[in-house]
Amino acid sequence: MTVPPTHGPGSGPHDPQDPDALARMLGEMMGDPSLADNPQVRDALRQLGMEQLDPTQLAMVRQQVQAMFAGPAPEGAIDDAVALDLARKRVAQGGDAVVGDADRRSHADAIHVAQLWLDQVTAMEAAPSPDAVWSRAEWVEATMPTWIELVTPVADGVTAAMTTAMRGQLDDLAEHGGLEQLSRTPGMPQLPQGLDPTAMMAQMGPMVHRMGAAMFAAQTAEAVGGLSEDLVSGTEVGLPLVPGHAVALLPSGIRALSEGLEVDPAEVRLYLAAREAARSRLFTAAPWLTASLTAAVQAYARDISIDVEGISARMSTVDPSDPAALQEALGSTLFTPEPSEAQLRALASLETLLALVEGWVDVVADRATRQHLPEAAALGETVRRRRATGGPAERAFAQLVGLELRPRRLRDAANLFAALEDAGGQELRDSVWAHPDVAPTGDDLDDVLGYVERVRAGQGDDLDAELDRLLSEGREDRSGDDATDGRA
C-alpha cells in the first residue's frame, strides 16, 4: 500500500489546519477515499475528540499512523536498529562513562598478564582478535546481533500469536454483526458501515508485524541494557557473545564488584581477566561449542508455546497503536507455564553445556592464578556465589525467552575436569573438547569417575584414531554435499 506524500500546510489533502484532513487521511490509508465524505466517519472522529486536535497534534497523529501502516518494515521479527538504540538509552540512564586511558591501560595489562599465566596451564591458544576494554554501551553494541539471533524464534512466535488473536477478534465481529455491534458498545463512537474485517486485517497485518518487532526490540533492549550493568566481562553469561572471541573486560562492572570485597582491586582485575581469557580460548579451540550453545537456546525458544488466549484477552484492553502499552500488557502472559518435552531436552543440553564451560573455566583459571594471586581461591568462591544467587545470565534469559537458566551442575563439571587433570594432566583435561562426540554429557556428570576411566582407556592411539574417524566422516560428508551440488 502506498501512502500519498505529505503536502505542506494549506497546500494539500493533509493540511493539519483542515478539519477534514484526518478523515481524508484515514480514507487513503484504508484504500477507500470515499470515507472522507462519510458522515459516520466524521461523527466517529468527533466523538473521539479528534476534531479538537491542534495542527501540531494532528501532524503527529498523521506521522504515527503513516509509520505504522507504511513505514519501512524491519527485515526480521525484531527491529534491530530500534533494539540497539533503546539499549543504549537504557545504559545511558545508569550513567555509563567512557573508559578512560588509565582504565584502558590497566585492564589491557591485566589481560596480557593473564594470557601469560594461561600459557603455562593449557595448550589452547589465545584468540587472534584484539583484546577489548569496553564501556557498557560498547558491550551492548558488540553483542546485540547475537542476542537478536538467539531470541528471534520467540519473536516469530509472539508476532504470529498476535496476528492470530487479532484475526480471531475480527472474525468474531463479522460473525456476530461486525462493526455495527461494536458501535453499540457503551462509550464506543458510531463507526462507519461497510468496512470488511478481512480487508481490515489485510491492512493491519504489516502494522502487527511492526508492532511485534518494536515490542520485542524494546524487551530485548531492556534485558540486554540491564544485563550490561551487572557484567564484568564480555562472555560472563557463558555464551560466545563477543565477535571473534576477543577477550573483553568491562571496568565499570569490575570496579563495582571490587567495592564489595576486601581484596586488592588489581587482584580482582587479574583474576577476572584470567577467567575471561580462558573462556575465549575455549570458544576458539572448540568452535562446535558456539553452534551447540546457540542451537540449544534457539531450540528452547522455537518450541515455546505462546498463550494465544492470554494475548487475545490483553489485546482487547489496550490501544493497539501503542507498542509500549502492548509490551506492558503482554509481558506476563506470553508463555504458557509448562515446558514441552522438546524444551526440557533443550534445557538439559543447554544447562550441561554451560556447566561444562564454566566448570572448565573454574579449574583452568584456578591453575593459572593460584601461584600468583593470594586471594585466587576466595575470588573463585565469590564468582560461584554470584552465579548461585541468580546471575546475570539467568535474569536475561528469563526476561527474553522465559528460560530459567542456571548451570546447576557447575561443581560436578569442575570436579570432572579436575579428575581428568589428575588422571592425565592438562592434555587429557582439554582433549575432551576436541569434538562434541567425545565431550562429557549430563550422564557423565552423574558418573565422573566412570567417565574419567573411559577417557583414560581411550587415551593415546585409540583416542586419536576415534577423533580421526570422526573428522574424516565430517570431511566426507562435506565432500559428498559438494559433489551433489555440482551434479545438480
Alpha carbons 238 and 241: distance in angstroms, whole number: 9
**In which element (H, E) is residue 445 found?**
helix 442-446
Amino acid (one-letter) located at 421? E
Residue with cell 531470541: 151
Residue with cell 524444551: 343
DSSP state of 283: H
Torsion over CA: 69, 70, 71, 73 (sign): positive
Same domain, 210 and 240: yes
Residues of the chain whose pLDDT is less than 50? 1-17, 19, 29-30, 47-49, 64, 67-70, 181-191, 333, 481-488
DSSP state of 133: E
DSSP state of 238: S
Instruction: Give the chain's domain count.
Output: 3
Alpha carbons 250 and 254: distance in angstroms, whole number: 6
Same domain, 332 and 237: yes
Q: Would you call 402 helix, strand, or coil by DSSP?
A: coil
Per-residue model confidence (pLDDT) at position 232: 96
Same domain, 272 and 221: yes
Per-residue model confidence (pLDDT) at position 458: 78
Per-residue model confidence (pLDDT) at position 172: 66
**Among the three residues 358, 377, 408, which one is the final residue of a domain in this structure?**
408
Same domain, 134 and 198: yes
Same domain, 10 and 95: no
Alpha carbons 207 and 333: distance in angstroms, whole number: 21
Rounded to 5 degrees, what angle do the CA atoms 143, 148, 154 make?
145
Same domain, 93 and 32: no
Same domain, 54 and 92: no
pTM of the full predicted structure?
Answer: 0.73
Same domain, 81 and 126: yes
Range of the domain at 321: 74-408
Per-residue model confidence (pLDDT) at position 69: 47
Amino acid (one-letter) located at 184? R
Per-residue model confidence (pLDDT) at position 15: 47
**Among the three residues 408, 440, 463, which one is the final residue of a domain in this structure?**
408
Same domain, 108 and 143: yes
Per-residue model confidence (pLDDT) at position 163: 72
Same domain, 79 and 51: no
Residue with cell 567495592: 259
Centre a 10 Å sphere on the Cβ of residue 425 and count the other Cβ atoms it contains.
10
The C-alpha cell at 355 is 556447566
**Among the three residues 383, 408, 433, which one is the final residue of a domain in this structure?**
408
With contact defined as beta carbons under 8 Å apart, do 134 and 143 qualify? no
Same domain, 182 and 51: no
Same domain, 87 and 176: yes
Alpha carbons 202 and 167: distance in angstroms, whole number: 10
pLDDT in tens, 261-313: 999 999 999 999 999 999 999 999 999 999 999 888 888 877 766 666 665 66
Contacts of 73 (CB under 8 A, 6+ apart): 206, 209, 210, 213
